Amino acid sequence: MRTLWLQTGFELKLIAKLRWTLLLPPAAGLWMLFQCADIGLPASMDVNLYAADAHSTLMTFLTALPMFLGVLLIRRDALNPSYEWSLTLPVTNRVMIAAKWIAGMLYSSAFTACILAVYAGVAVHHKLSWRSILSEIAHYAPLYETSFAAGVAVGIVIGALFPMRFALPVAFCGWIFGSIFVPVYLIEVFDWHILRLFSLNHLIGDLGAGASEAWAYRLSGVEYPLTYAFAGTVTVLVLAAACALLARTRPVVRPLAPIALMVAALIAACAVYTPYAELWQQRYAQWQQLMPSVPEAELTRPHAPYAFKVASMDVRLDRADDDTFAARAEIVLPTQDGRLLPAHEGQDAVTDRIEGRVVFLLYPKLRVTGLTVDGAQVPWMQEQDRISFDRAALAPSADAHKIVWNYAAVSPLNEWAHDGSGQYHLLFSQGESSFLPAYLGWYPIPGGDSLMYHVGKQIVPRADVASGLHTDFRLRLTGFAGRIVATLPAAEDDRPGSRSFAGQNAALPTVVGGSFTAVKMADEPALMLTTPGNVEESRIFLENLGERRAFYERWTGARLDRIRQIVYFPFFGTFDRSYGLTSVFPIGDTLFIGELRHSNLDTYRMEQTINFLLFGDTVYTSDWVNNWDDQDPDRLNNYSIVQEIRRMIALYIPMKEGVIAQEDVHMLSPIGEKMKQMVDTAYEQGKADVAKRVLMRFWNDGLTIEDQTSAGTASSVASNAASPYDYPFITWEQWLQAWYEEKGR
């Protein structure tokens, strides 16, 4: 052992004498500093989001250095004719190889230490909790170290196999293969995820939600532990090969010893790779089993004709320690003369999805185990994402029926999917991480066409399946650990370990659980639930929201409590296939906001939040819901000024009142500019109350705009709607009439 440490010290001194090598680890830390230090509004303030991008870039390039260093360490002396005298040293081949690898690893670990030390310093500066900081360090440090360990070993064996003039180009090719070709080309392009263990860069093509601190690596299960174990066995295998190659120059007493170690390491690597391959085979099999249940986009139809009304729904999910669960859904189904009642306005009757049967939608992996209708056992049929029973089971004499579905997830619900752009999750419930969106049928959804559709390899959940469906909903969850966020308010019997939520005439609920942090301000009723890296930005947003809300409540005299909570985090690999990466969408009284580095809690998100509070939608006031046509001779009667009025309420009046900073507010039409002049004149004459009363008249009548192509209604069907917006029609004449009436008061 003493010889090993002396030889390692000697190798480290030789590395230090290169001089330039000492500058590289601090330079890597400096790169992390440049990426994470100068952040703030209007860009995202989430240090962990910036750090994730910096780590991905650093790992791509830094894996080259250990490989080149390994070549240099072995070619410089052990296999250099000028160092022939070293053959007489009392140092065995295995000690020499081990010392070179340890020295290379110690030097490479300096990169890890510098990078993570700078990250920790910046994170502390930005007021992140130590729990979040240590969690990020615990995730990235092993990834760096395993990549460096394998890289140094591969460099040593390349140096032992080729002369220097060939070894360096081969090492370069090895770096390109392991750090770029495998993760970018073989994995992302060909979807050969089973080869991920052979990648030196595990931050490219990472499992979905990898950049989101809410879930990150927690969804990977045993994937990362197997990665570390495989890297260790392969490192031993490669170093044993280097010993065998070195024995050609420095003969040993037992030449078969390194070969025996190679065989043992190879067996160990295969033993580790087997469960890893099985893990990916299970994911592929789950995805392939799901595909036949998902229709092509062109075959989808609108949900509304098939959707029917339910009076109440009581859902209970009991999750076991192995992440399986049993569920029970009690549904009160109203009927009229034995006929189902349509759930959507404008529908005269419910169209049968399957002739003569009552059809609910349920995620295909969930298996029904029993059904009762009004207390009697009834046969059911489960096919793809549809569960149904004969409509004759509904007695025509009753106006309401109690339907009880019993179903279960007999294997862990971690629904992985992939396409040409990477991996993502449809839904999951694993450990403290949960993602159960309203639209994917983890409880029976009444009627509808299909839960998903596919475009090529991509499976897209249909967010519109739950749109417009409201009922008295009660949800009980047992066995769900960690912080659970539901779009229903907590019920009276809610308690840790046995969560309970309930809402009257509520939208179908979404449940998420993970590493979320609650941010609450004293004067703002809305709660912000976000990842630890977003706490400071969320606090600033809530302060500004509180000021805006207070102004509008004084003006309108109404309590603007439409938002109970705001959930803000990156949507990578979860909501993004249905809603997009940066969407803002409400589910019940919960507002979800997607995050990117340059799409965050900025003025645009504040406007959408205020619009939802005031108008009940998240349509920008600058969006053209109908176009002004200068060529139309009757344009004053054919053009709705709804957006001009909304823009006045949401932006222009707060600017006139000094609530938000002054800026030039561009109106969408010449009429809008005339309206702005009228408001300016009223303020100059001390009659601001006239303008505000006029605006309130229209506000009280309703200014909600429904976006037919928005996240809440988007599907391959809805996107083809003839008119993308449904809006109140308000003419210029109506504005003038209201103005002169209020002015004459």
Between 86 and 546, residue with greater pLDDT: 546
Segments of 247-373 assigned E as strands: 312-319, 325-336, 339-340, 357-361, 367-373
6-29 residue pLDDT tens: 888 888 888 888 888 889 999 999
Tokens of 369: 């185990």
pLDDT of residue 88: 59
Neighbour count for residue 379 (Cβ, 10 Å): 8
- Please tell me the distance from the alpha carbon of residue 231 to that of residue 358, in angstroms, as a whole number: 54
Task: Assess whether pLDDT exceeds 60 at residue 712.
Answer: no
Q: What angle do CA 162, 163, 169 make, to 5 degrees?
A: 75
Segment 588-599 mean pLDDT: 91
Neighbour count for residue 667 (Cβ, 10 Å): 20
Identify the H or E element spanning 484: strand 483-486
pLDDT of residue 104: 93
Q: For residue 490, give the DSSP letter.
A: B
- Please tell me the distance from the alpha carbon of residue 179 to that of residue 175, in angstroms, as a whole number: 6
Segment 188-212 mean pLDDT: 76
Q: 562: closest CA among 603, 484, 616, 519?
A: 616
The identity of residue 329, as a single letter, is: A
Q: 146 — phi, psi (to 5°)?
A: -70, -40
Task: Assess whether pLDDT exceeds 60 at residue 720.
Answer: no
Tokens of 504: 């009257």
- Please tell me the distance from the alpha carbon of residue 291 to that of residue 518, in angstroms, as a whole number: 38
Segment 683-701 mean pLDDT: 93
pLDDT of residue 208: 45
546-576 residue pLDDT tens: 999 999 999 999 999 999 999 999 888 889 8
Rounded to two decimals, what is the model's pTM?
A: 0.91
Segment 146-157 mean pLDDT: 94
Q: 42 — phi, psi (to 5°)?
A: -85, -5
pLDDT of residue 122: 94
Task: Assess whether pLDDT exceeds 70 at residue 286.
Answer: yes
Is 186 within 8 Å of 200 (Cβ atoms)? no
**431-to-322, 450, 513, 604 alpha-carbon distances in Å:** 9, 29, 9, 35
Q: For residue 669, give the DSSP letter.
A: S
- Please tell me the distance from the alpha carbon of residue 669 to that of residue 647, in angstroms, as a whole number: 12
Tokens of 34: 């440049």
Burial 406-438 (b: 16+ CB within 10 A, else e): ebbbeebbbbbbbbeebbbbbbbbbbebbbbbb
Segment 543-547 mean pLDDT: 94
Tokens of 652: 């222009």
Q: Is 445 helix (H, G, I), strand (E, B) or coil?
A: strand
- Please tell me the distance from the alpha carbon of residue 349 to that of residue 511, in angstroms, as a whole number: 31
Contacts with 112 (C-beta within 8 Å, 6 or more apart), sequence order = 141, 144, 145, 148
Task: Assess whether pLDDT exceeds 70 at residue 367.
Answer: yes
Question: For residue 64, what pLDDT band results from cuts at 50, 70 and 90?
Answer: very high
Query: pLDDT averaged over the chain?
Result: 89
pLDDT of residue 109: 96
Q: Which residues is 596 bridged to in the sheet?
A: 599
Segment 609-616 mean pLDDT: 95
